[in-house]
Amino acid sequence: MLAEISLSAIIVWIVCLLLAGGVAWSRYEKKKTRDKFLRELIAMDPVRREKVLSRLRPDIQTDLRQQLMERFRIS
């Protein structure tokens, strides 16, 4: 026997899929933007890089410095 699927159940599933897609897309864009910013930091001279990093929030600054060290061995 087939279970009856109501219209409201279908709508709820569609909304959940759209929300999940939106969350995944925003995480992808955040990662893509972070990678682009890291590439720009690498291209900068060290003095300018430090000046740019010093203007950021401390938590973001620490995370970016860690990423630079892990990926590119740049302090």
Q: Taking the domains of the chain in order of start, what are their residue ranges? A: 44-75
Tokens 């909304």 found at: 15
Provide the token pair at 3: 């279970």
Are residues 6 and 13 in contact, defined by beta-carbon separation less than 8 angstroms?
Answer: no
Whole-angstrom distance, CA of residue 36 vs CA of residue 64: 12
Instruction: Please tell me the chain's helix, strand, coil percentages from 3-state DSSP, rounded to the nearest 5.
Output: 80, 0, 20
Residue with tokens 């999940």: 20
pLDDT per residue as tens digits for the range 15-62: 999 999 999 999 999 999 999 999 999 999 999 999 999 999 999 999
Distance CA 20, CA 22 (A): 5
- What confidence tens digit (pLDDT) does each residue in 2-28 have? 577 888 999 999 999 999 999 999 999
